[in-house]
Chains A and B, each alone.
Chain A
């Protein structure tokens, strides 16, 4: 996390000369990057905690209707983000079932919607990865007297690139989607130019709407660079363990 933040800082700094037109631009861009990262990383972390065990559970067991469950997960991978945004808005709105928590137009609501978006991706890709592991690996772990947890850990270790790909795909989906965070977050920045619920994607949409295409392009470049940096870090970690 610390490494990610300093990398982001570098990215923001690298672009600073391009965006001197606005008095609060530097601070504005940095706070947007931070909100984007906070929301997407949190959502993806929770999605991984939920999605990975579910993938293991489905992957290792046989039950009636397994095909249907897998089909549902795969459908969820392509679920339109605006529809998710709409449903989450209904849920967190004052009138909805979660209305009492006062979540509408907050980063928590955005995390919730990105969680809904990223979980099927992480589950689906991890599921494919763990089912692709040779049965022999698990049999060997079991024969060596491993508990169920040990067997699961060995499988995850063997399938780590697949699982990592799933997490990355989930993160990519979360950080680059605009539909749901715009609806449930409201694209809010405070009067002094600090992002409250404004992410890179919703900021790009806003800048383009106002005809400030240069700022939109700079934000777009930061978004792309960010995804590249995250990919690089994860690949490095993955590579270190082989």
Chain B
């Protein structure tokens, strides 16, 4: 065993404290998030960064004027496994069901350890700027979007105000402050 040990090269000073890898990775992910006025993070408990809420105000599109909240939960297996992400509001969206499940490829089948919290946030942005009725999670909303785009647009607006769409009541998700408008449609 000493012979094996003799192969060791004492080149650099090595780290003594054992910080679990998921924490280092999370520190890196969070501290390098892009500056983006449409998105902010909320921490219920600031000493625990493994649980937080991402709050997003779409700068345009059908969901403009709303404020959408997603709970993120990062496990010890991060980044081997993706974080658990749920929409905490009941919203009318073709790719998000009324229990908050989000159909986003990077959250499940296409997750890779090289992706980051930022990649997921980009993915969420995309869902609001370009909802995809071809991969539905809320089937009614998806059919509505395909068959009657004008009616769908109205239903989205109604649902965001906390109204009823197809006999289901939705949560009011209007942004408390005027949303950042970039005027892109």
On whether the two chains bind one another, the answer is no
Taking Cβ atoms with an 8 Å cutoff, the residues of B that contact A are none
